[in-house]
Amino acid sequence: MARSLIGGLVADGYDPANIRVADPDARQCQNLTDHFGIHASNDNSTAAKQADVVLLAVKPQVLKGVAKDLATQLSQQNSLIITIAAGIRIRALSRWLGGEVPIVRAMPNIAALLKSGATALYANQQVSRSQRDAAEFIMRAVGLAQWLDDEAQMDAVTALSGSGPAYILLVMEAMENAGCELGLPRQTARLLTLQTAFGAAKMALETSEDAATLRRHVTSPGGTTERAIEVLETGHLAALFEQALKAAHHRAIELAELLGEERDG
């Protein structure tokens, strides 16, 4: 994810000389330096020194240690902290950093790797207007960025867009397999499924009409689409998706409590 953000920023014209990265893997540091022309080292303190923005793109399980190691340095710099570690609430991160510091929590999804991500952002009260703009600029480098008013909504974001690509891919997998059952060659079924999913998303993106209205436009009375939709509705597809997202939402809350609270010690 960090590599995608670097690539997006550089592609948007941001000067790579102003980007510093720390990674424990020396080969990864060299690769980033060679590819993007940024400064890379294996020392977090060096990378964060006098930085206006510090992006903590680490696994949730190690964020506590990274934050505590940088706490003194960051408190003296008044840097904006952006975290993309899933499940770690600002309350826990603030404790690990030793005080009330400006923090933006970001939740991108996997499509950010292709510069087509959907990212939700939440800022604590210490974040200034200019720092909000900086956070939004960074995350828009890999796709859409949307601000939230309540951090608790992050758990819903995790259930909807964080895990969402897997839901769409599952539907595409089912469509491809059904096409094969109807006699299409695997490659043909795959390509038709891919283009159909892409086209549907593009239709939804490029019109002001909602998904329900667009669906009705392509569902002719008495036609093939209507017959298929009837089967899906008889199987309570909408209710099944609601149950699935509620399950993901509940698990997101559980993980946030586990990662941010029980391990706070």
Condensed to tens digits (0 to 9), the pLDDT of residues 127-175 reads: 999 999 999 999 999 999 999 999 999 999 999 999 999 999 999 999 9
CATH superfamily of the domain spanning 2-157: NAD(P)-binding Rossmann-like Domain (3.40.50.720)
| pLDDT confidence of residue 121 | 97
- Asked whether the beta carbons of 73 and 48 are under 8 A apart, the reply is yes
b/e 240-256 (16+ beta carbons within 10 angstroms → b)? eeeeebeebbeebbebb
pLDDT score for 91: 92
Where are the chain's structural domains?
Answer: 2-157, 164-234
Q: Residue 265: what pLDDT?
A: 45
Q: What is the pLDDT of residue 261?
A: 59
Residue 148: per-residue pLDDT:
97
Question: Residue 263: its pLDDT value, please?
Answer: 46
Query: What is the C-alpha to C-alpha distance for residues 182 and 190, in angstroms, rounded to an integer?
Result: 13
**Amino acid at site 165:** P
pLDDT the model gives residue 47? 92
Q: What is the pLDDT of residue 76?
A: 86
pLDDT of residue 19: 95
Provide the angle, in degrees to the nearest 10, between the axes of the packed helices 2-11 and 129-140.
Answer: 100
* Residues of the chain where predicted confidence (pLDDT) is lower than 50: 262-265
Spatial contact of 104 and 127, defined as CB atoms under 8 Å apart: yes
Choose which CATH entry (3.40.50.300, 1.10.3730.10, 3.40.50.2000, 3.20.20.140) describes domain 164-234: 1.10.3730.10
